[in-house]
Structure 1
Amino acid sequence: MNYLSDTAKNFPSSGIRKMFELAQKYDNLINLSVGEPNFQTPIHIRDAAKKALDEGYTHYCPNAGLKELREVIAQKYNKQLGASYTYENVIITVGASEALFLSLAATLNIDDEVIIPEPYYPNYEGPIALSHGKIVFVHLDKNNDFKLNPYDIEKAITPKTKVIILNSPNNPLGRFIEENDIKKICEIAKRHNLIILSDEVYDHIMFDENKFFSPAHLQEMQEQTIIVNSFSKTFAMTGWRIGFLIANKEIAAAASKLQGGVVSCVPTFIQNAALTALESPMDSSNKMVEDYYRRRDILIDGLNSIEGIKCFKSTSTFYAFADITAFGKTSEEFCTELLLKAKVVCVPGSAFGESGEGYIRLSFANSDENLKEAVKRIREFINNAK
């Protein structure tokens, strides 16, 4: 008897995790593969969790999360976006990953189509598969530094289209979608009555005085936009597994109901820590961005000094997406050899879709010393291969 469902058998695996798992077999590695801040969660946030535990925050709460945290998130976005959200628009989730799942499970019917610009974050595939939707990729032009053309989105729309996923700032590309292009995509979504699922987990990590722009900045789009965000990147809280979604009240209520059947609720002491993160000054988070800014230049300037590698300067996130086509290898071959011979771990661009082939993703959420050593090792690896 075959005990596995078709969904389980066909569930997509992550190319990011594949490299991460391979790296566990070796020592003396510089790991630039996983998108995780190399900072400890700020002490005042950790202390808040300890205090909450001592005060008895160890019980269930409503599926949607603590009202006080949801209210603070709503207020934050109202101030940023000029919106009128209430706590009823906000659902606290187990990281952005569950927020993605709940958003898609709440909105997709069987065979509904989801448009995704590609290269793309591969963990979008799983929630869509579980919701029995279908992905329609819009391939970005590598000759134009993968800049999104809004009209390519419109050309991909069919009568089955339900959702457009926008990931800005973008993993793996390290760039954001500019305000004018967001506005054009919103016009398209309004014209075709589509939902925009806006993955904004890197919204705080912007460089060169660039400003983040959300589809929900447009008042007329707030009913049709689902915002997904997380405390992981902004506050170095990846292992805490806490995120949230913001949506119209109908979608939010459905997501809350689904949450009850998935995890019941996020642990309340973790929610208290997240509340402290939002209510405290952003000094620690801003300092992290300053460090990423410096580290971006260390890594990308270093890569561009190596013959054969081309890498545009990331405008956001902590990722570099480097062109390695000059070496005549697939991105997976290049990454595997780099790991085995140079002890540097990165992710093949093919893990992010076929448009990413010929590229590698490297994270500069690492120490200055490690980044300099990684550049040195990559240079030696390439020189030795000549």
Structure 2
Amino acid sequence: MTDREIKDMEYGAGVQLSPIATQLKESSIRTIANFGMTQPDVTPLWFGESDIPTPEFIRQAASDSLSQGDTRYTPNNGAPALRRALADYQRRLYHTPFDENNIVVTVSGTNAIMLAAQTCVSAGDKVVVITPVFPTLFAVPELLGAKVVQHPLIQVDNRFELDLDALFSQAKDAKAIIINSPANPTGWCASQQEVEAICQFARTHHVWVIADEVYARHTYESESAPSFCQFMKESDPIIVCNSFSKAWSMTGWRLGWLTLPKSITPTITKLIEYNVSCAPGFVQAGGLAAVTQGESFIEQSRERYTQARALVLKWLSDIPGTTLYDMPATFYAFLKIEGLGDNSQPYILQMIEKAKVGVAPGEAFGQGGEGHLRICYGCDLKRLNQALSQLRAYLIAHPCRNNEDESAILK
């Protein structure tokens, strides 16, 4: 059934589905993954998660909590002990004066983004989203009826950069800016000066900033990436979204948090009540263990990702017709393929069949992502080394050609 057929479908006495919901695009990443999962012996580099399991001390804390019967409702804005621990964690990293009253616990980083957007975005508002970016960040304001304007990063040699002047010109009449730094899929990371400048713009022009900092701890030059928490003031229109998923390998736990001005905490808390009610207590117990005991795990993970990044450079940095961008943060490589165009799915599907490696299509991440592939290198080093070797051989043997017929690619 086509999107148009779904849109036109009537239920009961002429009742239709929401046009905003029906017109949302399906994730092409999931399309690739669904196909890849049906093929034998494929190394999956398509999803944004590490294969490192959640550490045992986190699992044990949650298990103990569950065994003790921690299965009832919790406060809408999160368990007080976890909120205090998150405030202490951020004070240590960013020297911020914010306390637990600036922290709200959410059911995942995705839920954090939705709550932030629901707080400050209304139907018809203009929202500027810096791209390429994980599709949730432009889908959320679209679901709320906002007019989303994508602002692509610029490409300079083998790195991505943010044109601040162009961003500010485009956003001066916007209701909000959504920024993901460090960024999925590019690995780009805003500098401290850029973060500070955006904070100043927000307070001067009364534009909200929703900052997704899920990958803040996945940097290679410092303990943490520059954060909006370092510069935001209590009165600033800034909301910082974070998650336990990446730093502590807790993707399936669905736990996140917001850092925000105290004045809007009551509004967010009400939204949580009407969205998800609260995060489970035993899951928050695991989060408390992560944030209070997890620094050594983060450091060990960073060491492995550093080795993995070196393998990416070894295998993919010098292939004719491609550009491998700098990787200052995250566990993603973003690879530009000359001639790939704006529909890389046929090329990737063939890659899965012939090279036994699956990656994510760049166009899934919005403007600036077309013609690229995203490779998640957060997997076992031995397996990654073999997969990258196979990927290199495939890219060399199957160069793209501009305007090549898609049916020919699949032959």
Other-structure match for 1:67: 80
Deviation at 1:92, TM superposition (A): 1.1
Other-structure match for 1:315: 328
Other-structure match for 1:146: 160
Deviation at 1:7, TM superposition (A): 2.2
Is 1:266 paired with 2:279? yes
Higher alpha-carbon deviation: 39-48 or 250-259: 250-259
Other-structure match for 2:193: 180
Is 1:256 paired with 2:278? no
Give the whole-Å Cα distance in 1 for the aligned partners of 2:17 and 2:340: 41
Structure 1 pair 82/328, CA: closer, same or farther in 2 (3 Å)?
closer
Structure 1 pair 269/301, CA: closer, same or farther in 2 (3 Å)?
same
* TM-superposition CA deviations, 1:205-251 (whole Å, max 9, x none): 11134751112211447632211001110100000110011111232
Give the whole-Å Cα distance in 1 for the aligned partners of 2:30 and 2:369: 17
Give the whole-Å Cα distance in 2 for the aligned partners of 1:45 and 1:93: 18
Is 1:103 paired with 2:116? yes
Q: Note if contact 1:82-1:219 (Cα within 8 Å) is conserved in structure 2.
A: no
Structure 1 pair 158/111, CA: closer, same or farther in 2 (3 Å)?
farther
Other-structure match for 1:382: 395
Other-structure match for 1:84: 97
Deviation at 1:321, TM superposition (A): 0.3
SS in 2 for 1:44: helix
SS in 1 for 2:175: strand
Q: Note if contact 2:129-2:138 (Cα within 8 Å) is conserved in structure 1.
A: no
Deviation at 1:116, TM superposition (A): 1.0
Q: Note if contact 1:113-1:162 (Cα within 8 Å) is conserved in structure 2.
A: yes
Q: Note if contact 1:103-1:251 (Cα within 8 Å) is conserved in structure 2.
A: no
User: Match for 1:42: what amino acid?
Assistant: P
Give the whole-Å Cα distance in 2 for the aligned partners of 1:329 and 1:10: 19
Give the whole-Å Cα distance in 2 for the aligned partners of 1:67 and 1:133: 34
Is 1:348 paired with 2:388? no
Q: Note if contact 1:107-1:251 (Cα within 8 Å) is conserved in structure 2.
A: no
User: Match for 2:248: what amino acid?
Assistant: F
Unmatched runs of 5 consecutive residues or more in structure 2: 1-9, 400-411
Q: Note if contact 1:12-1:125 (Cα within 8 Å) is conserved in structure 2.
A: no
Q: Note if contact 2:172-2:207 (Cα within 8 Å) is conserved in structure 1.
A: no
Aligned-residue sequence identity (percent) comes to 29
Other-structure match for 1:230: 243
Give the whole-Å Cα distance in 2 for the aligned partners of 1:66 and 1:327: 48
The alignment's C-alpha RMSD in Å is 1.9
- Within a 5 Å distance, the mapping from 1:1-386 to structure 2 comes to 1-2=10-11, 3-144=16-157, 145-159=159-173, 161-209=174-222, 212-220=225-233, 223-325=236-338, 330-385=343-398
Give the whole-Å Cα distance in 1 for the aligned partners of 2:125 and 2:395: 45
Higher alpha-carbon deviation: 150-159 or 374-383: 374-383
Structure 1 pair 267/328, CA: closer, same or farther in 2 (3 Å)?
closer
Give the whole-Å Cα distance in 2 for the aligned partners of 1:116 and 1:92: 24
Deviation at 1:269, TM superposition (A): 0.4
Runs of 4+ in 1 over 6 A off after TM superposition: none
Q: Note if contact 1:210-1:315 (Cα within 8 Å) is conserved in structure 2.
A: no
Structure 1 pair 265/19, CA: closer, same or farther in 2 (3 Å)?
same
Higher alpha-carbon deviation: 319-328 or 38-47: 319-328
Structure 1 pair 32/193, CA: closer, same or farther in 2 (3 Å)?
same
Give the whole-Å Cα distance in 2 for the aligned partners of 1:329 and 1:216: 36
Structure 1 pair 246/385, CA: closer, same or farther in 2 (3 Å)?
closer
Higher alpha-carbon deviation: 14-23 or 40-49: 14-23
Give the whole-Å Cα distance in 2 for the aligned partners of 1:78 and 1:93: 20
Give the whole-Å Cα distance in 1 for the aligned partners of 2:211 and 2:235: 11
Give the whole-Å Cα distance in 2 for the aligned partners of 1:328 and 1:109: 34
Higher alpha-carbon deviation: 145-154 or 235-244: 145-154
Q: Note if contact 2:86-2:103 (Cα within 8 Å) is conserved in structure 1.
A: yes
Deviation at 1:76, TM superposition (A): 2.0
SS in 2 for 1:361: strand
Deviation at 1:196, TM superposition (A): 1.3
Q: Note if contact 1:196-1:226 (Cα within 8 Å) is conserved in structure 2.
A: yes
SS in 2 for 1:354: coil
Unmatched runs of 5 consecutive residues or more in structure 1: none
Give the whole-Å Cα distance in 2 for the aligned partners of 1:280 and 1:169: 23
Structure 1 pair 316/102, CA: closer, same or farther in 2 (3 Å)?
same
User: Match for 1:111: what amino acid?
Assistant: G
Give the whole-Å Cα distance in 2 for the aligned partners of 1:326 and 1:88: 51
Q: Note if contact 2:341-2:370 (Cα within 8 Å) is conserved in structure 1.
A: no
TM-score (normalised: structure 2): 0.89
User: Match for 1:20: what amino acid?
Assistant: A
Structure 1 pair 10/179, CA: closer, same or farther in 2 (3 Å)?
same
Give the whole-Å Cα distance in 2 for the aligned partners of 1:138 and 1:328: 19
